Structure 1
């Protein structure tokens, strides 16, 4: 509030009047000579003045705390510890020096702009925290805004529409409030600096000297360097991500045009699999942690051992290895496209580039030969899916075309057992003139892993209505979603269910010509797999014909459905070319 000069009438002097020409002083400015100090409480109750003064100091302290927190806030939940906030931020010292040198109006504009920028940086840090927790990477300013829609859809499926709307509105309001509060806080602090310019200048010089000394000597407090440039580093990281993304876009477009098998004639593609029904199946979030984590592994490994024995009794053999996925915790489509394209697809821009081009996907190679009918079973697809052309699928059965009348299980539109039975009924079990190549996505192991379906009698599946009772008896997402141990337990059970559904289907409906390739698309989120988990996923090939597995003997994979800890680990984009080569395809490269 402006403070106006007031003159009191003194005895024996002419009557004083308010000086209309005296300059006004803004809050925090030094008042003109002869004026009372800002917020002078003359003529007011002393206690009321003290209360006002106390409120001002509280607001100032809160402003300083807010600015300090935004300057020192880390961008991962694992790093969110008290010792992160016991440091001296270089940005605060530099900012104070700049503000002290500016006149009132430029100072106010600069402070407000800097405060808003700090608020925006804090929002980015929170987004980084969320993305690291769920996807194992930071937020990309260029590519990741579209994923927020997917996150909202996931929340709606898991927590309900009302909760999602409330949370979305709350998040937007909090973001706006943060921007406003950081701007107001920096303006207030800038005014305090100006009001005490001499003392503030000395304090800034001392702080700068201390920071340089601490930085030079590498001094630490509570295990962290005392001298901090966290905010500047965070800005540099975001800028580097943007630059790398823009450079990568052009480089990858060129890379995607080169293809080892892009010009291979149809007759020279996959000759050693002719006559076989080949099925590529992705199990959602089936990662290495499911086999090695002490909480999840006992149930999962027991299921793999039992399933291996059952398949062997039915005449099947299996071999298994590891693939390092291009994604982690989510964005399954990046794992699918990496596996099938032979290109490393680790962001949305790369995905859009490759799926809109004519690079040869593994599944399209089957279509190109003309020797197979090709089909996609996609229960997770609930909208238009133009990528079907890239994957070379003659027909796609999405969530609305599989005849399911039962309940959803959180995000998953239908249980895996039903999906596989519908595949048998509508596609695999029908007479055909050609063998079949199928791509199947199983979704029951999708987070939040509650409720989870249970296996039922295959002959009783019908239209899926019998799952109503199972869904109602199952756990609620909100009961486990914030509990790491419960999430790990339920995740393990979901993997057991998906593996059991798939292997029982193969025992029941497979033939001597069936070749099953199944794998995980990525590891589960960090809260389940751990902050230092690898990106490895299991991959298995199962067949009755011994010649099929003989072709991959030199891969040195482990016998059975469970890969050994020291089994070979390949990057996921290496699989396409190795598979095509193993089964007789002749390279004829296209060039960029």
Structure 2
């Protein structure tokens, strides 16, 4: 073969390769599902009409214009792949669509969760592989588009004929499907999908503007500074239990463990002289972003996005913590999951913050979980509550219990309170069980581990209150439901909320707000949103009336 023939052959192979890459990548970008339920082979057997349209533009337009189309189409393909990957991840984790306006700030938090569940190396390899694959697809598609604009006349004519036939077939099939009312075999979908994403961003921008107006309207105390006379002189201990959702109580997979546990805790508390009432409240988040729940309850404003939360943190809206501080309580935050600077704490108005490094834990971590809940409560008692009691000052404490945070391994066990010490007694527990990668390879096992950690958290709380509760008032609630892997799709966003106190009249007063006496909420009880619960607490503790 002469040199000219070899060159023609190479060009032919390049043209064939470019066409193959162009069709494969564009088809993948267009047909890739954007919901976990859409991952079905039959749903990919459709002709995206955008493919022949784009191919004809690259083949027929003057080369300079075609290059512009190639650049634009590469950008669109990147956006499609990026947004759909985001949709699949966020829908799987948080049961909502990916919102680039709100969610890009959470990449670091996603890394923390993934590395804590799978290990830093596995997480880095997974993310690196995904990024490299996406970059390779986009670069290959860009090369293919540019190459198509420079085909020989003979190859160009053949390609134009093929794609023109595909375009005609696609239009005919789409028209026939529309008339028949059946699922489309061919369709134009890209513009609708990207339009929906732009509309979502526009709605988010409008939502933040509306939230700004709400913040201005709600600045300052809504109806004068509450004095909380009903619980004057008593500690108020607000406890958020990680991933403690309604499913833990009502899902048939979990109720056989949690039902008896709640009954046992109720009996234990009753024997120690405590009464309890329980209800539901709807969380602004699911599967993560616990701070949104904290911000919602404590501010009394619906904070269901990172953008809303960020704006709340810079506002003058008084938090429930600040209200208690102004009424004479010493406000304390017990945050075992906080391992870095926490500038948002300034909004809440704490007198003291005990983050992970301040709690004095000398034991080994339980993977992502820095310390078990029993140690957290023991440290709170010795470092914050006892000194305040010695000074004759009541404490308003906000405590985050995190043993029930993913990856849910190893599972802690309750020990005698006198042996908690500096936490080194938990080292054997921290080194027990399988690593997250092994546990998470079996979905049923993940679920068993999840509910075991919820059971541990409730057992620990019951034991702590019966041993150290004294005359304190406890408000215990979940921050959010766990991920759909645990609850299944379309689960309620409600979480349990419990009121525990030796003041039976105070506990009984919550019945007017839909609470049931005892530690198990009624299945028929209302599910008010978590922002409304602040008004309920202010009212019942003597600071005003709810609407």
Shorter-normalised TM-score: what interval?
over 0.9
Deviation readout 1:265-297 (Å, 9 max, x if unpaired): 44x432222122111000001011111222222
2:177 corresponds to which residue?
Answer: 214
Distance across 2 between alignment mates of 1:402 and 1:199: 70
Alignment of 1:114-513 (within 5 A): 114-187=73-146, 191=151, 195-220=158-183, 225-259=184-218, 262=221, 264-266=223-225, 268-369=226-327, 371-430=328-387, 431-511=390-470, 513=471
**Counterpart in the other structure of 1:559:** 517
User: Contact 2:536–2:546 at 8 Å: present in 1 too?
Assistant: no
Structure 1 pair 65–179 and aligned structure 2 pair: CA distance change class (3 A): closer
User: Normalised by the size of structure 2, how large is the TM-score?
Assistant: 0.92
Instruction: Describe the shift of the 1:230–1:480 C-alpha distance in structure 2 as closer, same or farther (beyond 3 A).
Output: farther
- State whether residues 170 and 187 of structure 2, in contact with CA within 8 Å, keep that contact through their aligned partners in structure 1: no
Would the aligned equivalents of 1:269 and 1:586 in 2 still touch at CA under 8 Å? no
CA distance in structure 1 between the partners assigned to 2:358 and 2:408 by the alignment: 24
Query: 1:421 Cα shift?
Result: 0.6
Aligned residue in 2 for 1:516: 474
Query: Distance between the aligned counterparts of 2:287 and 2:198, measured in 1?
Result: 24
Cα deviation per residue 1:121-162 (whole Å; 9 max; x = unaligned)?
112211111111112222221221221111212233333333
Q: 5+ unaligned residues in a row in structure 2: which ranges? A: none
- Give the TM-score taking structure 1 as reference length: 0.86
Gap change, CA 1:258 and 1:271, over 3 Å in 2: farther
Q: 1:422 to 1:254 in 2, by over 3 A?
A: same
CA deviation after TM superposition for structure 1 residue 215, in Å: 2.7
- Alpha-carbon distance in 2 for matches of 1:432, 1:164: 48
1:159–1:478 Cα contact (<8 Å) kept: yes
| Counterpart-to-counterpart distance in 2, 1:588 and 1:576 | 9
Question: Does structure 2 retain, via aligned residues, the 8 Å contact 1:342–1:576?
Answer: yes
Deviation per CA, 1:76-96, whole angstroms, max 9, x where unpaired?
222211122112223224324
- Structure 1 pair 199–353 and aligned structure 2 pair: CA distance change class (3 A): closer
1:85 and 2:85 correspond: no
Partner of 2:35: 76
- Match of 1:32? none
- Pairwise mapping of residues 536-551 of structure 1 onto structure 2 (< 5 A)? 536-551=494-509
Q: Distance in 2 between matches of 1:194 and 1:505?
A: 80
Identify the residue that residue 483 of structure 2 maps to in structure 1: 525
Matched, 1:585 2:536: no
After TM superposition, give the deviation of residue 531 of structure 1 in Å. 1.5
| Inter-partner Cα distance in structure 2 for 1:229 and 1:564 | 48
Deviation at 1:556, TM superposition (A): 2.9
Q: How far off is 1:100 after superposition? A: 4.5
Greater mean deviation of Cα atoms: 143-152 or 411-420: 143-152
Q: Secondary structure at the match of 1:585?
A: coil
Cα distance change on mapping 1:435 and 1:82 into 2, 3 Å: same
Task: Name 2:24's counterpart in structure 1.
Answer: 65
CA distance 1:261–1:358, shift in 2 (3 Å):
closer
Query: CA–CA distance in 2 between the matches of 1:193 and 1:280?
Result: 71
Match in the other structure for 1:16: none
Q: Separation in 2 of the partners of 1:182 and 1:119?
A: 10
Give unpaired runs (5+ residues) of structure 1. Answer: 7-35, 42-48
Cα shift readout 1:236-265 (whole Å, capped 9, x = no counterpart): 122112111211222111111223971544
Q: 1:533 deviation in Å?
A: 0.9
Q: Indicate the larger mover: 179-188 or 328-337.
A: 179-188
Q: Which residue is equivalent to 1:571?
A: 529
- d(CA) in 1 for partners of 2:485 and 2:504? 41
CA contact (8 A) 1:416 1:498 kept: yes
